[in-house]
Amino acid sequence: MPDNRSSPPAPRLHAGIDIGGTKVAVCLARAGTPGDEAVENAPPAIFHRIAEPTVKTGAADALAQQVLQLLQRACAEQGVSVDALAGVGVSSCGPFVRRAGCIEVANPNICGALSGADGVAAPNDWTQVPLQAPLRDALGAARLRIANDAVAALAAERRWGALQGVTDCAYVTWSTGVGVGLCVDGRVLGGKNGNAGHAGHSFVGDVAGVAPACGCGNRGDVESLAGGGSLRDWLGVDAPTLLAAAQRGEPQALRQAQLLCRLMGRLLYNLVATLDLARISLGGSVFLHHQALLLPLLRRELAQHFAALTQGVEVVPAGLGAQVGDYAALALLDAAA
Ligand SMILES: [Zn+2]
């Protein structure tokens, strides 16, 4: 007769899929053991991760097929059946649009017909690519969750990072682009197409007519001015070189870093003024690699504006640090699912 006490329930397995403009990554994680109350407080244990460049040629469903193949491969490499996964979370770059109620991705770095930037467009004529429908058909709707990448990162920061217990908060990623996830009165904001928080494409002021075009087509929005992918176009230097020089105290680089923080600080202020936030968590490679320089500048910029709204607002580094991207998709999944 089997002794159930000697064979505790196996941990649930989750997959997290991160879809970006340059790469697609899949990670597998143990989400915890059924009945384990500590599971909500600790991030899942990631035990496998693979990635490859985002596909940008072929049929319009090429991206969804790539995601499914990568998931299949990750599972096969670990001897896990895809059917055994309790949940599949997908954190994707946006914006999203809906076709027949299902999320499709309309991102200028993936869809060649959308690029509004001055540079080279993706080598296809896509305007949007299906995501939710093909994944749902292959995996089933019940265990699938999809969210914008910054919204998913916000969920991770609220669950395991620097935003735990904060009901009015934002996660802001300052990376190649600029993205935001928002939570007000304890509710994560989605919007009609799940695009709430695309504040990287909001305007933060004129910069003397030199503003390059953003991938979205705007000139002078915060991503086109402060996004790490834009700096070479209008400052003539990439983000790591510029910020390293600023950290060494080189005067011109320091002035340029201060300008970037003024622009990003206006974005932070706009978010606080609009939503009455208590805390903002900052992540993304540009910020995290140079936070010793950037964090005080951003805090100072925010504090310069309307004290009645900004007093006491905390601006903190992402609690999950550089791993926030890996945990983002996993945070969409219920630990008990
Ligand atoms: Zn833009």
Report the C-alpha gap between 168 and 315 in whole angstroms.
Answer: 13
What separation in Å is there between the alpha carbon of 37 and the centre of ligand 1? 42
What separation in Å is there between the alpha carbon of 211 and the centre of ligand 1? 11
pLDDT of residue 40: 58
What separation in Å is there between the alpha carbon of 22 and the centre of ligand 1? 17
What separation in Å is there between the alpha carbon of 163 and the centre of ligand 1? 26
Cβ neighbours of residue 48 under 8 Å, at least 6 residues apart?
27, 28, 74, 77, 78
What is the tens place of the pLDDT at every residue in 47-84?
Answer: 999 999 999 999 999 999 999 999 999 999 999 999 99
Edge-to-edge strand order for the sheet containing 87-92?
45-53, 23-32, 12-19, 87-92, 144-148
pLDDT of residue 5: 54
Q: What is the mean pLDDT of the chain?
A: 91
pLDDT of residue 208: 61
What separation in Å is there between the alpha carbon of 40 and the centre of ligand 1? 36
pLDDT of residue 10: 72
Between 182 and 36, the more confident residue is 182
What separation in Å is there between the alpha carbon of 115 and the centre of ligand 1? 10
Indicate the SS3 state at residue 258. helix
What is the tens place of the pLDDT at every residue in 209-250?
Answer: 677 888 888 888 999 999 998 898 888 999 999 999 999 999
Provide the token pair at 312: 């006491």
What separation in Å is there between the alpha carbon of 176 and the centre of ligand 1? 12
pLDDT of residue 1: 47
What separation in Å is there between the alpha carbon of 20 and the centre of ligand 1? 16
Instruction: Give residue for tokens 């903002």.
Output: 280
Whole-number CA gyration radius for the chain: 21
Domains of the chain: 9-149 (3.30.420.40), 162-319 (3.30.420.40)
Sign of CA dihedral 112, 93, 325, 63: negative
Q: Apex CA 311: angle with CA 309 and CA 316, to 5°?
A: 110
